[in-house]
Amino acid sequence: MSLPLAIVLLLMGVIGLGLLYWYAFGRSGDKKKKKAPARKKDRTALIKQANRQLASNPRDHNALMTLADTYFEDQSWEKAMKTYGILVGLCATNQEIEEWYVTMRYGLAALQLKNADEAYKSLMVARTLKEDDFDINTNLGYLEYRRGNFERAAQLLNQALQERSEHVGTRRYMGRTLFKLKRFADAVRHLKAVIDQEPNDKESLFYLAQGLYELGRNDQALMIFNHLRPDPVLGPHSALYAGSIRMSKREIERATNDFELGLRHEEIREEVEMELRYRLADAYTRQQDLGKALTQLSEIYKKNPGYKDVSTQIAQSRELHSNRHLQTYLIASSAEFTALCRRMVMTFFQNATIKVLDISVQKNEYADVLTEVETTRWEDTILFRFIRGSSQVGELVVRDLNARLKETHAGRGFCVTAGTYSESAVNFVEARLIDLLDKEKLLEIFNRLD
């Protein structure tokens, strides 16, 4: 055979083998593609076959299982729950049915239908039959969380996470459960992982911010609360947190803006609204805007007259609003307060020369004014302590004043407050050269100024 003829025969052989391979495998692949039924047709056929079996035997557990699983996968929860319920009833007489499985599926379908009580009972039974199933543990943990059984929820969710450590839903409720248990560091760890995978989970983001706040990481918490302030559901509470953090940082104007923003929302839980108004009133008071403070306090009083000390706050705000000296004494800036104290010192002794030697303010809580007083009959060093506040002054404060008298070599001391004194404080100064002046005496001094 010549060489060209051999090459031609070889090529024909290769082509023939290729055609044979296509016929054997390629065509069958095409047929499979054409013959592959749609998923819906598969399920329709399964349901028809199962119904035919049940027509001849209503207790056919295989047919019932086919129907139940198909309904469950199609999310036809009512049908799934009903069919699994039939299977649960057959478990006592049919050992071939996996009782834990049908009981679990029955509970999960009930949970989807928001029948939490039925879901809880079924999953509890399922867990007695199989303790290490992920679906049982994670969903039962969620239900225990909803019931407020946080210790039990944490145990179940932790067991579920041992099987599937990165499951977002389980970590979500694990984080919230740990927050409720005040295990804030662990809660933050889980919630951060959830947000990394689902950044739009605003509720978990709110829990994360609260956890950071409880851990004292206020700057991080504030960033999240600021982000959530416009949210129609979480906004009011986020604004309350943001404003409270800023109040603690003495950023009064920005805190005021937070509280006002929170109150602009249409839907606000009553307890959140009350606290927003209460803290906004405090912010207005600190800015000496007493008219606005009274408006907020009055709104609280209309809805809940017994809320905190709102009645007392209203009375105090009205008094401050009508007495500018008392307003300066209690809520004005430190500079205005010390200027008022200097003026008051000048009214204590008639026909006397009074020289102010030193003024020191301690944390804006009180001011000590050291003076040198000279009259035609006597002269002495006298120390005045002006306490900012309307609460009761205790013995510790006057003991400290007595020690200060010794340090400054003052011969006499005066303690002035817009509140009252405890019995022990009064007893302490009986044998000492310290005079205690309460709110009534303070108002008399203000009258002398006028």
Q: Say which CATH number the domain at 248 has.
A: 1.25.40.10
Residue 194 has pLDDT above 90, yes or no: yes
pLDDT confidence of residue 23 = 41
Within-domain flag for 419: yes
pLDDT confidence of residue 16 = 52
Task: Kindly report each contact of residues 98-107 with a partner whose C-beta sits within 8 Å and lies 24 or more positions away, as own/partner.
Answer: 99/129, 100/126, 100/129, 100/130, 100/133, 100/136, 102/65, 102/68, 103/129, 104/130, 104/133, 104/135, 104/136, 105/68, 105/69, 105/72, 105/80, 106/81, 107/139
* Total of domains in the chain: 2
How far apart, in Å, are the Cα atoms of 291 and each of 31, 75, 254, 316, 371? 84, 58, 19, 12, 37
In a shared domain, residues 347 and 400: yes
Task: Dump pLDDT digits (tens) for 368-411.
Answer: 999 999 999 999 999 999 999 888 999 999 999 999 999 999 99
In a shared domain, residues 276 and 347: no
Q: Is 79 exposed, middle or buried (0-12, 13-18, 19+ CB in 10 A)?
A: middle
Indicate the residue type of 431: A
In a shared domain, residues 278 and 358: no
80/68 Cα distance (integer angstroms): 5
In a shared domain, residues 285 and 337: no
Within-domain flag for 206: no
Q: Among 259, 294, 322, give the residue marking a domain's end.
A: 322
Task: Dump pLDDT digits (tens) for 148-185.
Answer: 999 999 999 999 999 999 999 999 999 999 999 999 99
242/244 Cα distance (integer angstroms): 5
Cα dihedral 153→154→157→159 (10° resolution): -120
pLDDT confidence of residue 288 = 87
Q: Is 352 exposed, middle or buried (0-12, 13-18, 19+ CB in 10 A)?
A: middle
**CB-facing half-sphere around the CA of 239: CA atoms within 13 A:** 28
In a shared domain, residues 280 and 315: yes
Within-domain flag for 366: yes
pLDDT confidence of residue 27 = 39
Helix (H, G, I), strand (E, B) or coil at 361: strand
Angle between helices 168-180 and 202-214 (to 10 degrees): 40
In a shared domain, residues 297 and 357: no
Within-domain flag for 214: no
Q: Among 299, 322, 345, give the residue marking a domain's end.
A: 322
Please, what is the Cα angle at 205 between 203 and 211, to 5 degrees? 110
Length of the chain: 450
Within-domain flag for 145: no
Within-domain flag for 195: no
214/208 Cα distance (integer angstroms): 10
74/80 Cα distance (integer angstroms): 9
329/3 Cα distance (integer angstroms): 120
Q: Among 322, 343, 358, give the residue marking a domain's end.
A: 322
When mean pLDDT is compared across 19-28, 89-98, 322-331, the lowest value belongs to: 19-28
Query: Which residue range forms the structural domain that includes residue 268?
Result: 219-322
pLDDT confidence of residue 4 = 52
When mean pLDDT is compared across 185-189, 327-331, 412-416, the lowest value belongs to: 327-331
In a shared domain, residues 419 and 381: yes
In a shared domain, residues 339 and 417: yes
348/445 Cα distance (integer angstroms): 8
Query: Domain of 414: which CATH number?
Result: 3.40.1350.10
- The residues, any chain, with a CB within 8 Å of residue 412's CB and separated by 6 or more, are 380, 382, 383, 405, 433, 434, 435
142 pLDDT tier (thresholds 50, 70, 90)? very high
Compute the average pLDDT of residues 305-323.
90
Sign of CA dihedral 238, 243, 249, 253: positive
In a shared domain, residues 346 and 436: yes
In a shared domain, residues 278 and 353: no
Pair 133, 104: CB distance under 8 Å: yes
Indicate the residue type of 385: R
In a shared domain, residues 345 and 260: no
Within-domain flag for 39: no
Residue 76 has pLDDT above 50, yes or no: yes
Averaged pLDDT of the chain: 90
442/417 Cα distance (integer angstroms): 7
415/425 Cα distance (integer angstroms): 11
Residue 10 CA, distance from chain mean position:
80
Within-domain flag for 42: no
**Of 233, 234, 417, 235, the residue nearest 326 (C-alpha):** 417
In a shared domain, residues 299 and 238: yes
Q: Which residue shows structure tokens 């005045």?
A: 384
